[in-house]
Amino acid sequence: MNPLLDFSALPRYGEIEPEHVAPAIDRLLAEARDAVKRAEQANPTWEAFVEPLDDANERLARAWGQVAHLHAVLDSPGLRAAYNESLPSVTQYWTALGQNLALFEKYRALRESSEYAALSPARRRIVDHALRDFRLGGAELPAAQKTRFARVHEELATLSAKFSENVLDATNAFSVVLEDERRLAGIPADALAAAREAALKDGAGNGKPRWKFTLHMPSWLPVMQYAEDRALRETMYRANVTRASEFGKPEWNNTQPIAAILRLRREAALLLGYRNHAEVSLVPKMARTPGEVLGFLRDLAKRARSYAERDAAELREFARAELGIATLEAWDYAYASERLRKKRFDFSDHEVKQYFPEDAVLPGMFRLAETLYGVRISQAQAPAWHEDVRFFEVRDRAGERIGQFYADLYARDSKRGGAWMDEAIARRRKNGRVQTPVAHLICNLPRPVGGKPALFTHDDVITLFHEFGHGLHLLLTRVEDLGVSGLSGVEWDAVELPSQFMENFCWQWEVLAPMCRHVDTGAPLPRGLFERMIAAKNFQSGLDMLRQIEFAVFDMRLHSEVDPDASALELLDEVRREIAVLLPPAYNRFPNAFSHIFAGGYSAGYYSYKWAEVLSADAYAAFEEHGVLDPGTGARFRDEVLAVGGSRPALDSFRAFRGREPQVDALLRHNGMIVAPSA
């Protein structure tokens, strides 16, 4: 039997071969299409229409999820080919489902029927979300407008692709090749080795050693941070901030694509009956209006401002007194910052990671979840995809299993970079029985060497806690319907709450002290080292915060206030005069490479980074108030935030936990910006 078609228990990792993929996916697609056809004819009730469709879609999603998962963590030529072969038909299926008008009508009929009021709040929310997504996809438009709406979206997709291609082409086109070794002073050895290799790849030159630097981050950043040659830094800075602008090749200039994207986004919003793109972007988010977001950002900017001014003054003074830089310029910021950081907090990752061996960190992290949420986590056996993988069970106090997860922590060639949590199985009730959730916890941490446990840097530990936070959101849910169980259906700007929340514990003495021990001597983490880690964390946090707020205000105003024919650059200048403490040179063309909002999914959404951070910091502050390991506060966080998933608005969940609206004070305090208690 094809292991991808077995849904009776855990995925049969270890048995899945590339040749299983196409037959299983084709069959599940056919079944799902049949289910759609039946749903189109069914009575518009939950049992007759939503549930059978959910069942078919869940089977497809689970099987395809296993294939995509293996593609990400154990890539091989055979699997890649199988994945790419089935990908288009799977994508087509989901796209068609989202545009299926017959289904839209069924959802609408269900919404208008007497059954709707009798549904559970979770199910009502699933119906509402479905209708919302159909509407935002243009399902309700009259025929002529629908054609235009589709055309606008196609043009937008093309323009976004063109925008990124221009950025990429402009990035790739620039390089500086140096032959004079004196100009390399300060640049770290590994960056120099990479530059040397890059120059060699281009040819032997005249036999003399040469070094090639580019605008790709691993090449560009070390120059900006460490190169003592100020002219070299200026050249690299200017090249970076004028990418895809009128200063480069005309065919890579993003000025016109930006204007066209803004015009088309406005047009699509007007067709849907909104005033601007920002209003559309906010519909599925927690923030309600552009004005609310701008008010939030401006308030945060006001509070961070004096700290940013202090950071800037320190930097200027340090550069003048110790680096001989009379006027600090944009190409000096990173360099002066690094020098100041080194002078002030001279400890290394190497020193810190001796206290974070894996066999202390992992049990420490599990103990934390056990203390806060009253669960027990124990290792168990399950078929896995690689010998590195470990498998764990989560049980409640009564010993009942509530979830399971795989942890695949070490980097290897066959694994995609980065760290993530994803869902293998979501919690739901089906035929009277509860299906418990299963998570994948994936990282790219260093593996053990030399017979010692793996050693993690503090950043590694934060990453692990972050992904575990997403995992707990999935595993501790009590929701019984797909669509709002776990992370599903949670607003986009609130989904990072549980993960960023967990990061806070990595900065807490009460958590680290019992967890950390020196890998060789078993000695506890020295308090002095911990204090220096905290101080380094908040280094120049005022400037960092204002920079993020500047981008977020620009993004929100651009998509809500600005006449599409006005200049994005002029708006950015205005925003900078309002928000920024350090002003860039006039030739800076930041918008021309701001891919997050012109090519990524962050348009009128860049504020989400700070928004979710306010929620997570404020939620964590409740633990600081009651004791960071207080089980009572933990139980409330579990019940009101983690357990409810997307079954109610995130703001309601936050209020239920905190007893009030979110406040920014905790975020400021965690960034070293102490605010007086507000009245």
Write out the residues near Zn ion by the rule CB under 5 A. 499
Instruction: Say if residues 569 and 591 touch (Cβ distance below 8 Å).
Output: yes
Choice between 469 and 662, CB closer to Zn ion: 469
CB of 420 to Zn ion, least distance (A): 8
The catalytic residue among 467, 491, 496, 503 is: 467
Catalytic status, residue 467: yes
Nearer of residues 73 and 516 to Zn ion, judged by Cβ: 73
What is the rounded distance in angstroms from the CA atom of residue 165 to the CA atom of residue 151?
21
Shortest distance in whole angstroms from residue 280 CB to Zn ion: 24
Distance (Å, whole) CA 656 – CA 512: 29
**Nearest residue to Zn ion on Cβ basis:** 499
Alpha-carbon distance of 501 to 485, in angstroms, equals: 19
243 HSE (CA, 13 A, CB side): 25
CB of 312 or CB of 487, closer to Zn ion: 487
Give the single-character DSSP code of 357: B
Whichever of 3 and 284 has its CB closer to Zn ion, that residue is 284
For Zn ion, the closer CB: 86 or 499: 499
Q: Which is nearer to Zn ion, 234 or 422 (by Cβ)?
A: 422
Q: At what angle do helices 527-537 and 333-344 cross, to 10 degrees?
A: 160
Choice between 268 and 497, CB closer to Zn ion: 497
Q: Are 48 and 389 in contact (CB under 8 A)?
A: no
User: If we measure between CA atoms, which residue out of 220, 216, 242 comes closest to residue 232?
Assistant: 220
Give the Å distances, CA to CA, from 151 to 146, 532, 559, 650.
8, 56, 20, 34
Rounded Cα distance between 606 and 598, Å, is: 11
Q: Look up residue 131 and give its amino acid.
A: L
Q: How far apart (Å, rounded) are the C-alpha atoms in residues 474 and 426? A: 7
Q: How far is the CB of 496 from Zn ion (least distance, A)?
A: 5
Closer by beta carbon to Zn ion, 261 or else 475 = 475
CB-hemisphere CA count at 13 Å for 556? Answer: 24
| H or E segment to which residue 323 belongs | helix 290-323
Shortest distance, CB of residue 612 to Zn ion, whole angstroms? 9
- In angstroms, give the least distance from the CB of 495 to Zn ion: 8
296 and 287 Cβ atoms separated by less than 8 Å? yes
Strands 428-430 and 433-435: antiparallel
Closest distance of CB 77 from Zn ion, Å: 30
Residue 397: CB minimum distance to Zn ion, A = 28
Sign of CA pseudo-dihedral 585, 586, 587, 589:
positive
Q: How far is the CB of 163 from Zn ion (least distance, A)?
A: 25
Q: What is the DSSP letter of 677?
A: P
Rounded Cα gap, residues 397 and 379, in angstroms? 16
What residues have CB less than 8 Å from 266, skipping those under 6 apart? Answer: 276, 277, 564
Maximum CA pair distance of the chain? 83
Buried b (16+ CB within 10 A) or exposed e, 327-358: ebbbbbbbbbbebbeeeeeeeeeeebbbbbbb
Provide the 8-state DSSP code for 433: E
Minimal CA–CA distance to 508: which of 667, 628, 612?
Answer: 628
Cβ atoms of residues 161 and 153 within 8 Å? no
CB of 363 to Zn ion, least distance (A): 23
When the beta carbons of 540 and 616 are compared against Zn ion, the nearer one is 616
Closer CB to Zn ion, 93 or 492, in the complex:
492
Q: What is the DSSP string of 201-233?
A: HT--TTSS--EEEESSHHHHHHHHHH---HHHH
Smallest separation (angstroms) from Zn ion to the CB of 69: 17
How far separated are the first and last CA of the chain, in Å rounded? 67
Contact status, residue 250 vs residue 191, Cβ threshold 8 Å: no
Residue number with CB closer to Zn ion (107 or 637): 637
- Residue closer to Zn ion by CB (options 499, 588) is 499
Closest separation in Å from C-beta 470 to Zn ion: 6
Could you tell me which of 603, 580, 609 has the C-alpha nearest to residue 591? Answer: 603
The helix or strand, by DSSP H or E, that contains position 395, with its residue range, turns out to be strand 390-395
Kindly state the tokens that stand for 209: 């050693």
Query: What does the CA dihedral 74, 78, 80, 84 come to, rounded to 10 degrees?
Result: -150
Active site residues: 467
